[in-house]
Structure 1
Amino acid sequence: MVTTDDGVALAVDIDDPPGPASGPRPSGLTVVLAHGYTLDSRSWTLQRSVLQEAGHRVVRWDQRGHGRSDIGEPATHTIRRLGQDLREVLDAVVPQGPVLLGGHSMGAMALMSYAGRRREHLGERLRGMALVSTSVGGLDAVRWGLGERVGAVVTRTGPDVAAELARHPGWVDRLRRHPTPLSDVAVATSSFGSRVPRSVRRLTRDMILGTDPAVVASFVPTLQQHDVADLLDTLADLPALVIVGDRDVLTPPEHSARIAARLPLAEHVMVQRAGHILMLEHPEVVSEHLARLAQRCLDPAPAPPPRQARPRHTVVDLRPGRGRRAPTPGGGG
């Protein structure tokens, strides 16, 4: 447990790589992975094992209000505070050595907020960033794949619905104990763009329904007000992975394209027939690209990108017989 400066205990998992006698020699790189809204550190469990086997140390933690961590005061449920929590986790368990920061959705928003504002805290130790299914702002205009009119209503009424659920936690508790087919469909529709194993659907449902309804409600304003686009320029010299599913209705692909356009050393990956929680829907794709980025982080520091440098775009299509399209420098994603 790491206790923050405002007294919130955060549950942190630290996984060291195998020793030289039993596996790859430790690389010295620590990969720090932040989960998304209403999820917890289990959402990264499949990538953890791959990174460990590659010789990297892996740190995951449950954000305040999520998983096994304390809830804290509602006023602290902001992306900026999550960025401060990240700093305190790093100070406590990664005090030295090279670091790769990775985040999904709200977790990636928090690390962009932290790294963009406090880049000097890590300095040359920060070797790269992995940004999965996320956004630098404009979430108040997301239409959830429901069309302009219906989507606008859902966005406008969402905070009120979340607040009402927070006033009646028994509803969510009953749904948690006795899930219905409708709840499973709702989770699958918002989370995935293709069929996933039942175990993955259940894990996702358990994480979402396991989040206190009051926490769900209190984080809505910070998500709708989130805007860190101007901070990306401070991260432009870092190798990066920006990856998203083409069927992501929560942080649509154009949000990732906007991020990649500001990061010249990024690999911008679009996964076909994929939704929001890419790490669980297509774990092998995320693991492969994350491991590749980790290796880039261990290479000698790249020279500052030239003015004309542009991100590399890749499309991953997992349908039978489709394979992958070759990466294209500066091409459309």
Structure 2
Amino acid sequence: MSPPMNPSAADVASRHHVARDDTSLNVVEWGSAQPAVTVVLTHGWTLSHRIWEDVAAALVRADPTVRVIAYDHRGHGDSARVSTASIEDLADDLAAVIGARVPRGPIVFGGHSLGGMTLMALAQRHRHIIAERAAGTAFVATSAGDLLGALRAVPGSDAVLRAALAVGARLTMPSRPLWLLRQVARGAFGRHPRRHDLNRAVLQGAQSDPRAVAALGRSILRHRRYPAVAAFAGLDVVVMAGTRDWLTSSGHASRIAAQLPDAELVLCSGAGHFLPYERREVVTAQLLHLIANARSRARSGVAG
């Protein structure tokens, strides 16, 4: 088992705040101030920008000319705590981040889990951003809809899930005892997770606002955006999934890829849901490929 990459990228990152609709969003940036290509990364449910910090550090080490931006969804990480949120809100937040921090130039997007759903909602609500600015996209352990399909086929299951989310909205996620919570988090990881990664996933969850988490959980249950995926046709797209991911399985990845005939489908054997941690090297390599293609098109004057 390889040791975890040093997450000290946070020490050299710059922090900013973007305001939208009386909500303050925490934005973290690495790399060049004058990039040819900017990478914008969106994180998953209950997590924060820190799920991407290892990948961001590796991208900048491999290509110092690139700029990488990750941010915390409302109610997550160091962004403002909120009483409610939806995937539509997150898409509008992402549009605000792009307008404030990436007003020009080609963008390579990377969306993990809920972050990938946010990209799909961005394509619905701000299609011009995808059409005019997107040069490539990595959908990482995400879904275009019908999550927990087998479970939700059971009569009454949706009502039970909504009730559980309502209870969860009143409970603060604990961060201790860490050793016990690691065992809970382990269920969403694949084979041989690193303790450091388990710890970080638990601590990110504890930092999130339970009200926002519950509201977004309800929004995720409503999420079905297969038609929105078509907005990414013609772009460089990679769709990634872990073979041991029971949340957004390889079947979800295959259905996204099926909407995009030119997309590359990458299945990570033995990995679970947390690919930016579990397969950080593979995710980094895929993003570097998208960046290289985007830079090549920018040099040749192709819009992106």
What code does the residue aligned with 1:109 have? Answer: M
Q: Does 1:161 align with 2:164?
A: yes
CA distance, structure 1, for counterparts of residue 247 and residue 158 of structure 2 = 11
CA contact (8 A) 1:140 1:155 kept: no
Structure 1 residue 231: deviation in Å? 1.4
1:12-64, CA deviations, whole angstroms, 9 ceiling, x for partnerless residues?
011123x9xxxxxx651000000000000000011101221212100110000
Q: Does 1:66 align with 2:76?
A: yes
Q: Does 1:187 align with 2:185?
A: yes
Aligned match for 1:222, one of 215, 219, 222: 219
Q: How does 1:30-41 map to 2 (within 5 A)?
A: 30-41=38-49
Name the SS for the 1:194 alignment partner: coil
Structure 1 residue 168: deviation in Å? 4.0
* Equivalence for 2:25: 10
Name the SS for the 2:178 alignment partner: coil
CA contact (8 A) 2:130 2:231 kept: no
CA contact (8 A) 2:88 2:121 kept: yes
Name the SS for the 2:227 alignment partner: helix
Higher relative contact order (CA 8 A, sep 6+): 2
Q: How does 1:1-333 map to 2 (within 5 A)?
A: 1-4=17-20, 6-17=21-32, 27-53=35-61, 54=63, 55-74=65-84, 77-121=85-129, 123-141=131-149, 143=151, 156-169=159-172, 172=173, 175-181=174-180, 183-190=181-188, 192-300=189-297
What code does the residue aligned with 2:182 have? Answer: D
Q: Given the superposition, is the C-alpha separation of residues 121 and 291 from structure 1 closer, same or farther in structure 2, using an over 3 Å criterion?
A: closer
Structure 1 residue 155: deviation in Å? 6.0
CA contact (8 A) 2:120 2:225 kept: yes
Structure 1 residue 102: deviation in Å? 1.0
Q: TM-score, normalised by structure 2?
A: 0.86
CA contact (8 A) 1:193 1:275 kept: yes
Name the SS for the 1:139 alignment partner: coil
Question: Number of matched residues?
Answer: 281
What code does the residue aligned with 2:19 have? Answer: T
Structure 1 residue 205: deviation in Å? 1.0
CA contact (8 A) 1:116 1:232 kept: no
What code does the residue aligned with 2:142 have? Answer: T
CA distance, structure 1, for counterparts of residue 169 and residue 232 of structure 2 = 37
Name the SS for the 2:142 alignment partner: coil
CA contact (8 A) 1:32 1:59 kept: yes
Name the SS for the 1:129 alignment partner: strand
CA contact (8 A) 2:243 2:250 kept: yes
Structure 1 residue 140: deviation in Å? 4.6
CA contact (8 A) 1:237 1:264 kept: no
Percent sequence identity over matched residues? 33
Structure 1, 208-217 or 114-123: larger mean CA deviation: 114-123
1:79-122, CA deviations, whole angstroms, 9 ceiling, x for partnerless residues?
11111100000000000111111110001101111124422235
Structure 1 residue 164: deviation in Å? 1.6
CA distance, structure 1, for counterparts of residue 261 and residue 143 of structure 2 = 17
CA distance, structure 2, for counterparts of residue 285 and residue 155 of structure 1 = 35
Name the SS for the 1:289 alignment partner: helix
CA distance, structure 1, for counterparts of residue 192 and residue 99 of structure 2 = 40
CA distance, structure 1, for counterparts of residue 41 and residue 202 of structure 2 = 21
Name the SS for the 2:261 alignment partner: coil
* Structure 1, unaligned runs of 5 or more: 20-25, 303-333
Structure 1, 207-216 or 116-125: larger mean CA deviation: 116-125
Name the SS for the 2:137 alignment partner: strand
CA distance, structure 1, for counterparts of residue 200 and residue 157 of structure 2 = 25
CA contact (8 A) 1:116 1:235 kept: no
CA contact (8 A) 2:83 2:212 kept: no
